[in-house]
Chains A and B, each alone.
Chain A
Amino acid sequence: MAWAKKILRVNLTKGTCASEPLNMEWAQQYLGQRGLATKYLVAETDPKVDPLSPENKLIMTTGPLTGTMASTGGRYSVVTKGPLTGAIACSNSGGYFGAELKMAGWDMIIFEGKSPKPVYLWIENDKAELRDAAHLWGTTTWHTEEAIKAAHQDPQIRVASIGRAGENGVLYACVVNDLHRAAGRSGVGAVMGSKNLKAVALRGTVGVSGVRDFKAFLKATTAAKKVLADNAVTGQGLPKFGTQVLMNVINEIGALPTRNANDVQFEGARNISAEAMHEKRPSDGKANLITNSACFGCTIACGRVSQVDKNHWSVVNSPKYWGATGGLEYENAWSLGAANGVDDLDALTVANMICNEDGMDPITFGATVSAVMELYQMGVLKKEQIGIESPFGSAQALLEMAHMTAEGRGFGKELALGSARLTKKYGHPELSMSVKGQEFPAYDPRGIQGMGLTYATSNRGACHLRSYTVASEVFGIPVKTDPLATEGKPDLVKAFQDATAAFDSSGTCIFTTFAWTLGDLAPQLDAACEGGWSLERLAEVGERIWNMERQYNLAAGLTAKDDDLPKRLKTEAAKSGPAKGLVSGIDKMLPEYYKARGWTADGVPTKDTTKRLGL
């Protein structure tokens, strides 16, 4: 079995680390990673718990394919109750940390309680202990990783940590691993900070030996890798352009939320696109993009490695930003750029670096800045309150706000709340482009209707990674649907949600689904794991996970009223592009979606549904 079959339970209050067997009965029902860790959270915590209290738990979890030769088999997730949303939080990350956890012999780590003082968890294979982190508290994720490697005199250690954002309770703080990979959304880093847990450092030399049938596994993974290599998106588009391949495409179809979703097209999109990253800057004759890079095991390699002009005004006095680093992904280029009307590519790259360095979600951060810029434009917020003139389009304001939020000073403490709380405080909750308190990402539901339903029903608050119907509505994967139509979208969203939940529980990356279906994943899992893993079974596991998350949210106090989009998307029509004149048809789609899900008109899973899924 590709599971390590072992859990590490860390009680931070008592300072203890204990090994226990993985519940294999649950593994057969929930597979691993997202599904299995959520099952543990559901079983062990009260859904009404305060997310930032010691009673909340935080789980770092791998999937059965994490740490294997399956392409993209390096993923791990952080599962907890999210402080930004009050809903289930499950944030997925790549890099090398997840595989190292598995190679140390662990499927997951469950953190409970709260440490009396800052600590980090040190794992060397089966040995695990909490160590003092007083000297690391107040420092960045970059410094923390470097300091831990130096202290242990081992450059091969992998580290996941929080920066100052997580310590300061920024409600969208993330957990950063391998310098620029992040379990990004819903504030999982703030939960880690609330527990006084600064970092997890790993060295794993046990490896993964429990694959059920190695020969069949290598045959299946080799075939699946070929599918990725032969596909135009995963074999050519993503390695060359990264997710940024989307910038010009989404702008052209009029679905690029611009200036806090006042517009759906951004006149500066070209300047912050993948194509622009490849071009030589006039200032120093070098391109922003240096090369692409892969996470552990990934044969796609969509990652961006970028370097800004040393003489750019934002870094001229900050040599630490001069080196190569994780470059802009589409979501970040949008949230920091188009969402705020900023089209300075190097400035966006630097803002992204600050988010990595101090561990905050660039999507929620950028979308919060755009709400602030709109409040500034309306005259509700003044320069004196923010600390800098903040009109749409100001890269200076963007970077100053990034610094003040990361460092927890001045107006940064208000930015730390996210847009829902901040706009409410200043009397304009309608200006928060969020669902369940979490800001939606880079696809405007007026121009891509399926994404409206995706955002409204996502269990972790607005998110594109729970059902990426853009694949179908824009790229025709697996079938082309009309992005401007609502018909058929409820069934499409449900199918994507269930399949995605299965992928997120396997240890592989959702980006494989540009080429893979569950039919490509199943033979790999089946060769790796005992139990007979078919496409149909994976779809059912996905549906079970989705409904379990829904039940958790309902028990936490969320209702159908929380499955709604910001008013702007329902009442202010798109001003330009193919979607001109359209609003989101969410009100038409939602009842049909509930029905397709086997839920009541109030969005509650019926007894038949829960019984069918064994919940």
Chain B
Amino acid sequence: MQKSLHIDPNKCTGCLQCEMACSYENYGSFNIAKSRIKVFNFESAGRKVPYTCTQCAEAWCLHACPVDAIRIDAATGAKVVHESVCVGCKVCTIACPFGTVNYVADTGKVQKCDLCGGQPACAEACPTGAITFVESDWTGLGKMRQWAEKTDTQPRA
């Protein structure tokens, strides 16, 4: 069963535990500047929105890469950057419609979410359930359940 990161912005408080967990997982330090998931704070609207790669089935980044450095992890479905192959040309960063592939000047390579090999650190660190790792075919299940609960088909007195 394949799983996907699922984000519910209404539950996000902006604590950035996800960004710290991501940077620790990938770089061994707490460094939100290196996080592959970013929380955007829309101050005047009072909204906070975590955003990261959705692992498109038809991945633009993967198709755009001239050296085949972005490959599919068969187990997780993640589109994974192979650093040893990546030449840092950044074409994938242009191809991605959502901006979730980004260049890292320190390494000269690009980085993107790779689902941590099937155990995303961001979802584990999120204290409010704004980021969850759920069955890909049923990311809407939680919302359906909420609406189902509101559905009242009992005849009224």
User: Using a CB–CB distance below 8 Å, which chain A residues touch chain B?
Assistant: 67-69, 71, 96, 99, 103, 156, 179, 204-209, 211, 214, 218, 225, 229, 239, 290-299, 301, 303, 305, 307, 323-325
- What is the chain B residue whose CB lies nearest that of A209? B29
A148 to B49, CA, bound (A): 23
A222 to B32, CA, bound (A): 19
**Complex interface residues of chain B between 1 and 49 (CB less than 8 A to chain A):** 10, 13-17, 20-21, 23-24, 27-34, 43-48
Q: Give chain B residues whose Cβ lies under 8 Å from the Cβ of A297.
A: 15-17, 20
**Best-surrounded residue of B17, B21, B34 (most CB of chain A within 10 A):** B17
Those 8 A-B pairs whose CB atoms lie nearest each other, nearest first: A207-B31, A324-B46, A323-B44, A205-B33, A209-B29, A294-B13, A294-B15, A301-B13
- What is the chain B residue whose CB lies nearest that of A297? B15
Indicate with 1 or 0, residue by residue over B120-139, a CB within 8 angstroms of chain A CB atoms. 00000101100000000000
- What is the chain B residue whose CB lies nearest that of A298? B15
- What is the chain A residue whose CB lies nearest that of B27? A207
User: With A207-B33, A324-B44 in contact, is A214–B24 under 8 Å at CB?
Assistant: yes
Q: Are B14 and A299 in contact (CB under 8 A)?
A: no
User: With A207-B23, A296-B15 in contact, is A324–B33 under 8 Å at CB?
Assistant: no
Q: Report which of B33, B34, B48 forms a contact with A293, defined as CB distance below 8 A.
A: B48
User: With A294-B15, A301-B128 in contact, is A205–B46 under 8 Å at CB?
Assistant: no
CB within 8 Å: A-B pair count: 87
Interface size class for chain B? 20 to 34
User: With A69-B17, A297-B15, A305-B46 in contact, is A208–B127 under 8 Å at CB?
Assistant: no
Q: Give chain B residues whose Cβ lies under 8 Å from the Cβ of A305.
A: 46
Q: Are B20 and A69 in contact (CB under 8 A)?
A: yes
User: Using a CB–CB distance below 8 Å, which chain B residues touch chain A?
Assistant: 10, 13-17, 20-21, 23-24, 27-34, 43-48, 125, 127-128
Q: Are A229 and B127 in contact (CB under 8 A)?
A: yes
For the complex with contacts A69-B125, A206-B31, A290-B46, 11 further pairs of A-B residues with Cβ separation under 8 Å are: A69-B24, A207-B30, A208-B31, A209-B31, A229-B127, A291-B10, A291-B47, A293-B48, A294-B15, A296-B15, A297-B20
Q: Are A323 and B20 in contact (CB under 8 A)?
A: no
Task: Name 28 interchain pairs, CB-CB below 8 A, sorted by A.
Answer: A69-B17, A69-B20, A69-B24, A71-B127, A96-B16, A99-B16, A99-B32, A179-B43, A204-B33, A205-B31, A206-B31, A207-B23, A207-B27, A207-B30, A207-B34, A211-B30, A214-B28, A218-B24, A229-B127, A291-B10, A293-B13, A293-B48, A297-B15, A298-B13, A299-B15, A301-B128, A307-B46, A325-B44
Return A236 CB to nearest CB of chain B, in Å. Answer: 13
A291 to B43, CA, bound (A): 12
Q: Give chain B residues whose Cβ lies under 8 Å from the Cβ of A179.
A: 43
A303 to B48, CA, bound (A): 13
Return A204 CB to nearest CB of chain B, in Å. Answer: 7
A185 to B13, CA, bound (A): 26
A211 to B29, CA, bound (A): 8
A166 to B3, CA, bound (A): 52
**Best-surrounded residue of A103, A214, A218, A225 (most CB of chain B within 10 A):** A103
A69 to B31, CA, bound (A): 10
Q: Give chain B residues whose Cβ lies under 8 Å from the Cβ of A225.
A: 127
A291 to B46, CA, bound (A): 7
A84 to B23, CA, bound (A): 42
A69 to B21, CA, bound (A): 8
Return A49 CB to nearest CB of chain B, in Å. Answer: 37
- What is the chain A residue whose CB lies nearest that of B124? A222
**Best-surrounded residue of B10, B15, B16, B27 (most CB of chain A within 10 A):** B15
Q: Are A103 and B17 in contact (CB under 8 A)?
A: no
Q: Are A67 and B30 in contact (CB under 8 A)?
A: yes
Q: Are A294 and B14 in contact (CB under 8 A)?
A: yes
Q: Give chain B residues whose Cβ lies under 8 Å from the Cβ of A204.
A: 33
A211 to B128, CA, bound (A): 26
